[in-house]
Structure 1
Amino acid sequence: MDTLFDLPETETPEQGVAHYRLSGDQYGSPAERQAIFEAERAMAAAVEAAGVGEVDGNGFGAGEAELYAYGADAEALFKVMEPTLRSLPFRPAYVVLRRGSRETQSRVDL
């Protein structure tokens, strides 16, 4: 045996990161942040109900908001989240879908 631990191989989860431009240069307005939080909760419930992954938080800064989600199939994850992602009024906005490694990704404008 050449290894110290016999760990099971795990697949890298596929990922979707939504990016929204907010007002101002920092964290957006309180109303914008509230809209992002509400959308995040709605998407988390939809993703969980569909069993396609998990919504894993957000990030704010530099006038942008980001929403993170992970699952076994980036396309299935996006399909469940897409209606809520498109309903947010902030533009420009886009989603980066990563399939497996970071080298395999695509961008979808919202």
Structure 2
Amino acid sequence: MDTLFDLPEPETPEQAVIAHYRLSDDQYGSPAEREAIYDAERAMTSAVQEAGVGEVDGNEFGVGEAVLYAYGANATTLFKVMEATLRSLPFRPAYVVLRNESREAESRVDL
């Protein structure tokens, strides 16, 4: 029996908060910009874990943009926990995508 395909389905659908920030160049941003993103990611990881609403799952840098990913049972609740830190980052333009159970159920929040 191959247990790889016998994984249980999650009890609640996973929702996402995906934050996009424009950086100062067309590549990976400056070292100071990357450090600010890492600091914010650490702060949000602590806040999200303390609130018990999901997990911050990492970042991507490239093509002049930084993207932060977080997942949980409720995107709106997750965003509320992360919002102050997301808004504190100075990089603009910036926006957050709140993704519900399916990609068709997305909303955008400009920061």
Whether TM exceeds 0.5 here: the answer is yes
Q: Which amino acid aligns with 2:8?
A: P
How many percent identity over aligned positions?
75
**Secondary structure class of the residue paired with 2:40:** helix
**Secondary structure class of the residue paired with 1:96:** strand
> Which residue does the alignment assign to 2:8?
8
Alignment root-mean-square deviation, CA: 1.2
Structure 1 stretches of at least 4 aligned residues deviating more than 4 Å after TM superposition = none
Could you tell me how far 1:24 is from its partner in structure 2?
Answer: 0.6
Kindly tell me the number of residue pairs found equivalent between the two proteins. 106
Give unmatched runs, 5+ long, in structure 2: none
Give unmatched runs, 5+ long, in structure 1: none
Q: Could you state the TM-score of these two structures normalised by the residue count of structure 1?
A: 0.92
Distance change in 2, residues 1:93/1:7 (3 Å) = same
Q: Is 2:91 the counterpart of 1:90?
A: yes
Could you tell me how far 1:6 is from its partner in structure 2?
Answer: 5.8
Distance change in 2, residues 1:85/1:8 (3 Å) = same
Q: Is 2:66 the counterpart of 1:62?
A: no
Q: In 2, Cα distance between the equivalents of 1:71 and 1:89? A: 25
